[in-house]
Amino acid sequence: MPDDRRATQTQAQTQWLDRVRATWAERAPWWDAMSETNAVSPDRTDDLRRTASALRLGDGATLLDAGCGTGQFALGFAAMGCRVVGVDLAPEMIERARGHAAARGLDVEFRVGDLGRLPDPDGTFAAVHARLALQFVPDLAGTLAELRRVLAPGGRLYAAVPGALSPIYDNAWRRLLNPDRGAINYAVPWELERVLEELGWTVVDGWGHYGAALSGEGNRFSAESVAGLDKRLQQAAATSWAVVAE
């Protein structure tokens, strides 16, 4: 693909990505341990099934796991019969993901990469899964445009970001004081939906997760306590909110 089809990466974006890479290199052991524990929970099985259904994944479907971390979701989809490519910015994450794939005898292509500059041809994947990854990109619109480029016509995107009051964020207000924001953009669900729609996507589904964050920190809200409230209030209260678009 010609280089002019890719967004130009500014120095500020490069520095941002360097900070993200360094952060997750340091966190990789902790993240892996927590993710492995969660991977065997009944909730994870139900979550995978619901996500696969929303993405309309059939046996042999090609799936990009964008921001795959140490690979637990990618491996879950592979075990369901999908052909999965997992991409993460941190080599330390990918190394652990490859180790898990080898240990479980699952054929998943894990590679280090920037979600805003993918090497794949247009229309490569039947679906894209981007769970709790898009809040770390320096250019949300540019990254979503790149994910759309590699998605086949009629394919679907699953994208999840924390709610504004999520224990994952808990300090999203800081973005109003610090435009640099370190290595996180604090994107919230309604902003994600707005950017998707501005880029020509259609949001077709969405739901909230209200359990504890991976760190173990609980959510003061539950699905029951916010049921019936305005959608944006439900989104704000969610530990993470999933958006499905096509």
- Of the pLDDT bands very low, low, confident and very high (cuts 50, 70, 90), residue 44 is confident
Give residue limits of the domains in the chain.
Answer: 3-245
The CA-atom distances, in angstroms, between 140 and each of 7, 101, 116, 122, 136 are 12, 29, 9, 19, 9
Could you tell me the CATH superfamily of domain 3-245?
Vaccinia Virus protein VP39 (3.40.50.150)
Report the pLDDT averaged over residues 3-13: 64
Residue 51 pLDDT class (50, 70, 90 cuts): very high
- Structure confidence by residue, pLDDT tens digits, 92-123: 999 999 999 999 999 999 999 999 999 999 99
pLDDT, tens digit, 9 for 90 and up, residues 184-218:
899 999 999 999 999 999 999 999 999 988 878 89
Mean pLDDT of the chain: 92
Determine the pLDDT at residue 36. 79
pLDDT confidence tier of residue 12, bands split at 50, 70 and 90? confident
Lookup: tokens for 57: 């994944």
The answer to whether the predicted template modeling score (pTM) of the entire model surpasses 0.85 is yes
Least confident among 23-37, 58-72, 140-154: 23-37
Per-residue pLDDT at 3 exceeds 60: no
